[in-house]
Each structure stands twice: as C-alpha cells, then as structure tokens.
C-alpha cells in the first residue's frame, strides 16, 4: 500500500521494524517497542509513539493497522481478538491469558475511538459491532493479492521441481495447507485419514499439533511459498477462526480450488461451487474428501478462482482505502465516494506537497476529461455542506442523511479537522473548488462560519446557517465561558446571523 500511495501522496510508515526498498518513495520512522512477545509489543509500541506525537500531528491521515496508539483517524481491523479468543478451545493457560489481556486493551481502544474503521471482511465488521459495540460506519475492504507473484503461470516453472522436493509423484493429487495449526489441526488430521489416496503438504511454523501419516508431509515456513502453490492441486483451509486468511486469496490467484470452512473472512469472496468450495466445519471433512476425488472438477474450479482473485489485486484495495482518506479529510462527498467505489480503478493523481496538506492536495478524479464528463451529468445547483464536527459526530450523520434526501442537488460535504486554523483554510479551499451556489453550515463555530462568510464575500453565493442553540444565551446561563470567550462567541453568533441569507434552527 505504501508503495502505491506514495506515487500520489507523501507517506511515512511508523513501525518498529520495516523493510524499505532503496528506491521507495515513502519514508520510514522507527518506533521503539519491546518485542519479547505479542503482548509486550502491543503494550510498548504505543509508548514509543507518544514520543513522536508532534510528528504524527502534522499528518491529515493517521492510519493505524489495528490498535497501536498514535491517535489515528483511520484504523484497519485485521482481527477481533475477543471473537478469536471465543473461538479457541485447546490452548494453553498462558496463551489464553495473553489473549485476554490483548482483547481487553482492544476493547478499551474501540470504546474511546471516534474515527473511521476499515474491516478486512464483513465477518470482522460484524464481530466489532457484536463484541465491542462499534456503532460508527465501518468500511469493508478485503485484502488484496500480488497477482504477479501468485499466478497459475508459476506451474510451468516450479511445479515439477517443487513436487520432487515434497516427494510426490506426478500422478498424485496434492492438497496444500499453509498456516497456523492451532486453528485447523484436528480437521486436517481427520481429512488425511478420510482421504488416504490424497497427499498432503502442511506448511506451518506451529511447533505443536504435529502428527505422522503416510500421506502427510510437514514443511517449515519458506520465503518461496508460491512454489508450493504451483506444486499443489487443491488448497485446504479448515480454520476455526480467521478474520480474513491471506493464503486463501493467494491460492486462488495461483489457480487452486480452495476448500474453506465458513469461519474464514476470505470465504466471503468465494461463490461456493463455482470458484471455490465453502463448507460448515461440521461438514467440512466429509465434503472435502469427496470433492478431492474429482480431478476434472478441481481444475475447472481452479480456473474460476484465478479470475476471481485477479479482481482483488492490491491496486483495487489502495483505491478503496484512498477514498476513505478523502472522506476523512473532507475533500470528497459521500456520493463521490460511492461512485469511486463502484469504479475503483479511478485514481487521484495529484501528489501531496507536504505531510500536513492532504486536504489541500488530494482530490478524486483521474483526469480533466473525466471530471468534465462527470460534471456534465450533475444537477445545475451545487450545495456545499460545511460540518463543524468530524465524520462520526451527530452533525456528520445529520448532514449525510440530509444529503441523501436532496437527490435533486449535487451535495458535497466537508468535515472539520481538530485544528481550527487548518479547518478554516481547508473549508475555504473546499468551497473554492466546489463553487457551490449555496453553502449550508451545520452549527455555529469559528472555522465553518468564517470560511463560509469569507467565500460569500469573495464569490457572492447564498449562505444558510443552522444552529441548535442560542449559543450566547446558553453559554451565559451555564457559566461555561469567561468574559472574553463569551464576547467572542457573541461576535461569532452576530456575524453568522448578519451575513447569512437564511438561519435554520
């Protein structure tokens, strides 16, 4: 993602460790953390980020991969630890205790978090809502696959040598499993016994749950896993829990029929019976053993699987994530985002000029010709919504609900950032770009009112201001503001009422 995003924007990766190619366009910022075990890393990485708070504050988008500190405004949920813990039965007390502590930390994070969430599967999105009561909008954006590295074309180059390495004959059916045995070992053991004529290659780093069988070969992890995909005739994945399961998409891209349980997020990408097979866990062994006896069907499903995987390359994922960034930065409307998601190969082509200028420098639209074509279909009246709050606030929801009801207008929405001066400038630039006939300001606050008033003075459009309170009287009655702040609030309220063409209460 960093490679492709850095072609258009300035990107810095904050991590404890990172493999950065010499020709990379993105920067790397080391973060201190103790990597004694997973729990230690989770606990100490946010501490390391605190020392970099000033650097992080300069970015419009702070995208966290899971909960790891740094005050993110976009988080990708790669797992729901509470759901994973709930799925486990046969694990050690030490592992269960460690997972409980991490799940508790994850729950606390989501209880306080107010930004955007990206889930790698609908399964994960549902789990976040059920276990952590996440109620804000969740964008489901599945992982992508490197279709160049994982391809059916590897068979011609690697299949024969890889099968010799595994120790199977050309005429044997070879089923492959890649991953942690904690979540699948019992079903794999049953399958290897139920299908004695099938050879099994198990690539795993798991030190436990090993078993011996005449048709089973345990293989240590390798950096050339694509060779084993090329050697195999099918991919088996009886997981008890996987938020996604990258290996499923890798196997599909390699032209393999995937036999997955219904507990994997990646199974959502499979149309069972066409480009893969998905079975409930209690039926998985019997159904998979029967299907592995039909080589012709395996080849047909594998061909369909490869075509499906090609639609999920990383460029598609990056484009979808980029639209979330635009939305968070307030420089794209809800309708624009929906259109972009329908055609995710469109790109934002303007490169950011500085780390703190995302709102100013990023804009959807692949070319001026496309923008001209799109604008020819727009309604005559463009309305700009200025929301004095972020995407998750009640005003944000109200603005989007109202926009959805105004189908006869072209409604563009911008949201306030956490910094007032930046928000005034961002709002004004947004208005200059949008050139609305009407500006509608949700709630009276400095950034929205001043930006809208300045634009009205310069360009002479219509201005509507909505307020839920007589803010001066409210502040006076509650005693929540000192004399100076009360006077400034009065000036702001009077300015808004005088310059507005309409006031909505």
Spatial separation of the C-alpha atoms in residues 68 and 121, rounded to whole Å:
20
| Helix ranges, 75-210 (H) | 81-87, 93-112, 122-132, 154-166, 185-194
How many angstroms separate the Cα of 239 from the Cα of each of 120, 196, 232, 347?
A: 17, 21, 19, 36
| Per-residue pLDDT, 426 | 85
Spatial separation of the C-alpha atoms in residues 405 and 407, rounded to whole Å:
6
| Per-residue pLDDT, 276 | 96
Spatial separation of the C-alpha atoms in residues 31 and 80, rounded to whole Å:
24
| Helix ranges, 232-312 (H) | 246-253, 281-291, 295-310
Neighbours of 307 (CB within 10 A): 12
| Chain Cα centroid distance, residue 314 | 12
Domain boundaries, the chain: 31-140, 154-310, 315-504
Global pTM exceeds 0.75: no
- The stretches in the chain having pLDDT less than 50 are 332-334, 336-379
| Chain Cα centroid distance, residue 474 | 40
3-class secondary structure for 423-442?
HHHHHHHHHHHHCCCEEEEE
Spatial separation of the C-alpha atoms in residues 351 and 354, rounded to whole Å:
9
Q: List the CATH code of the domain at 315-504.
A: 3.40.50
| Chain Cα centroid distance, residue 54 | 25
Paired residues of 174 in beta bridges: 199
Spatial separation of the C-alpha atoms in residues 453 and 463, rounded to whole Å:
8
Q: Which of 216, 236, 238 is nearest to 282 (CA)?
A: 238
Query: Is 315-504 the same fold as 154-310?
Result: yes
| Per-residue pLDDT, 478 | 57
| Per-residue pLDDT, 474 | 53
| Per-residue pLDDT, 135 | 81
| Per-residue pLDDT, 348 | 28
| Per-residue pLDDT, 481 | 57
| Per-residue pLDDT, 376 | 41
**Distance from the first to the final alpha carbon of the chain:** 45
Spatial separation of the C-alpha atoms in residues 93 and 433, rounded to whole Å:
58
| Per-residue pLDDT, 350 | 24
Structure tokens at 144: 């992508």
Structure tokens at 29: 């910022």
CATH superfamily placement of domain 154-310 = Glycogen Phosphorylase B; (3.40.50.2000)
Spatial separation of the C-alpha atoms in residues 473 and 481, rounded to whole Å:
11
| Per-residue pLDDT, 370 | 32
| Per-residue pLDDT, 420 | 66
């Amino acid at each position: 993602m960093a490679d492709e995003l850095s072609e258009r924007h300035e990107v810095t990766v904050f991590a404890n460790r990172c493999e950065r190619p010499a020709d990379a366009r993105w920067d790397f910022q080391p973060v201190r953390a103790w990597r004694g075990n997973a729990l230690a890393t989770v606990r100490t990485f946010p501490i390391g980020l605190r020392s970099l708070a000033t650097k992080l504050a300069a970015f419009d988008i702070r995208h966290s991969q899971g909960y790891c500190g740094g005050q993110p405004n976009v988080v990708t949920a790669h797992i729901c630890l509470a759901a994973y813990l709930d799925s486990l039965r046969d694990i050690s007390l030490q592992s269960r205790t460690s997972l409980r502590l991490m799940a508790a930390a994850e729950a606390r994070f989501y209880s306080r978090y107010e930004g955007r969430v990206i889930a790698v599967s609908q399964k994960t999105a549902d789990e976040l809502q059920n276990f952590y009561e996440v109620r804000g909008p969740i964008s489901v954006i599945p992982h992508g696959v490197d279709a160049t590295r994982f391809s059916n074309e590897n068979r011609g180059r690697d299949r024969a040598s890889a099968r010799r390495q595994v120790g199977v004959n050309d005429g044997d059916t070879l089923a492959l499993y890649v991953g942690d045995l904690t979540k699948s070992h019992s079903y794999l053991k049953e399958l290897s016994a139920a299908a004695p004529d099938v050879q099994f290659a198990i690539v795993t780093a798991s030190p436990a749950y090993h078993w011996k069988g005449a048709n089973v070969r345990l293989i240590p992890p390798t950096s050339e896993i694509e060779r084993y995909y090329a050697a195999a005739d099918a991919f088996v994945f009886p997981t008890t829990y996987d938020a996604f399961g990258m290996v499923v998409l890798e196997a599909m891209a390699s032209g393999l029929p995937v036999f997955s349980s219904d507990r994997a997020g990646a199974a959502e990408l499979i149309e069972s019976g066409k480009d893969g097979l998905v079975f409930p866990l209690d039926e998985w062994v019997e159904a998979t053993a029967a299907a592995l006896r039909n080589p012709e069907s395996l080849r047909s499903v594998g061909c369909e699987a490869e075509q499906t995987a090609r639609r999920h390359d990383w460029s598609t994922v990056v484009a979808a994530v980029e639209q979330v960034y635009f939305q968070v930065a307030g420089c794209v409307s809800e309708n624009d985002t929906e259109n972009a998601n329908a055609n995710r190969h469109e790109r934002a082509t303007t490169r950011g000029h500085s780390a703190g200028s995302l709102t100013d420098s990023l804009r959807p639209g692949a070319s001026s010709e496309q923008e001209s074509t799109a604008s020819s279909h727009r309604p005559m009246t463009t309305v700009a919504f200025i929301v004095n709050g972020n995407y998750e606030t009640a005003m944000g929801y109200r603005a989007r609900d109202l926009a959805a009801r105004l189908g006869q207008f072209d409604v563009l929405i911008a949201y306030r950032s956490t910094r007032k001066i930046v928000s005034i400038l961002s709002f004004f630039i947004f208005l200059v770009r949008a050139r609305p006939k009407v500006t509608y300001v949700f709630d009276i606050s400095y950034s929205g009112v001043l930006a809208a008033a300045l634009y009205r003075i310069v360009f002479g459009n219509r201005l509507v201001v909505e307020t839920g309170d007589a803010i001066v009287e409210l502040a006076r009655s509650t005693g929540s503001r000192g004399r100076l702040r009360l006077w400034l609030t009065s000036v702001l309220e009077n300015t808004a009422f005088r310059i507005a063409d309409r006031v909505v209460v």
